[in-house]
Amino acid sequence: MAEKLLQVRDLYLYFRTMKGVVQAVDGIDLDMNRDDALAVIGESGCGKTSFIRAILRLLPRNVDTYKGSVVLLDTDIMKLSDERFRTHVRWQQMSMVAQAAMNALNPVLKVGDQVSEPLVVHRRIPKKQALAQAAEVFRMVGVPADFLDRYSFELSGGMRQRAILAMALITQPDLVILDEPTSALDMLTQANIMNVLKGIKRDLQQSFIFITHDVSTTSELADRGVVMYAGHIVEISSAEQFFLNPFHPYSQKLMASVPTLKVRKDLEFIPGRPPTLINPPQGCRFAPRCERRFDLCEQEPPLFALEDGRQVKCWLYK
């Protein structure tokens, strides 16, 4: 049995806005083992990014509710003070590749300086040594070491992405969170980055959570798929099961919208739009768009545990 890495229970993250309270993360439970690669899949605005922000405590100013428990290797990191969280959790245990990673490099710092910053900040390692380690990680992600001495604008998109990835890996954290790591890249670079990630997963047994709305690239890397809809997790299953036979009606629709090479099919879409998270529908949140809804859908379904460790939040699987 693999070691338990992350255990999320009843995680809530609400934001205050002019229009009302946005229930971006609305009671999420999730377990993750070491060496797991977890793909969080969902449409835009379903709370994926808010979910990992809640884990990493990267919160904007307008937080309304932020509660629950996030146990990372026996420590409930929700109970840590901000300062302790900053110095002991961020980049020591968890690192993140931010969304729009292309712009995540400081334009006025050299890439090497920046990639080695976490070591300087957290480990108090002298600059020179930190740079040597950065060169090491650069090699791992496939960036020539002499790029350390360049500024971010001198790097191509793929290079930048890899530099950011190097930065996330440099402290060898327990968990790396990738927020849409390939969203702004061309197909070839995407494939390249995915291969780098696969290599890292294979060689370092690195645990990943990565967020995506690109189902196809996910299939390459993920061990398990987590589908989010309107601030809830609606399905958790192993990658194979998920891609071959999704259970939740939303997952099924999601998969049906992805083109496949071998089978000729009409692409489907889901009518309507994801509900606003300010005033989410009562009961099952997917019900208004669901073709298979019935009376029970008036009430909110729990996350049913099925065989093979699959979990589905739908009355159909009662």
Residues that bind other proteins (CB under 8 A): 56, 58, 61, 86-87, 89-92, 95-96, 98-101, 103-109, 117-118, 121-122, 164, 167
CB of 64 to other proteins, least distance (A): 16
* Smaller CB separation from other proteins, 106 or 156: 106
CB of 34 to other proteins, least distance (A): 22
* Smaller CB separation from other proteins, 143 or 230: 143
Q: What are phi and psi of 181, to 5 degrees?
A: -65, -20
Q: What are phi and psi of 61, to 5 degrees?
A: -75, -25
- Nearest Cα residue to 26 out of 80, 55, 68: 68
* Smaller CB separation from other proteins, 61 or 202: 61
Residue owning tokens 């999730």: 30
* Smaller CB separation from other proteins, 53 or 224: 53
CB of 57 to other proteins, least distance (A): 10
* Smaller CB separation from other proteins, 98 or 312: 98
* Smaller CB separation from other proteins, 95 or 311: 95
CB of 283 to other proteins, least distance (A): 36
* Smaller CB separation from other proteins, 207 or 237: 207
Residue owning tokens 């946005």: 22
CB of 118 to other proteins, least distance (A): 5
CB of 87 to other proteins, least distance (A): 6
CB of 148 to other proteins, least distance (A): 17
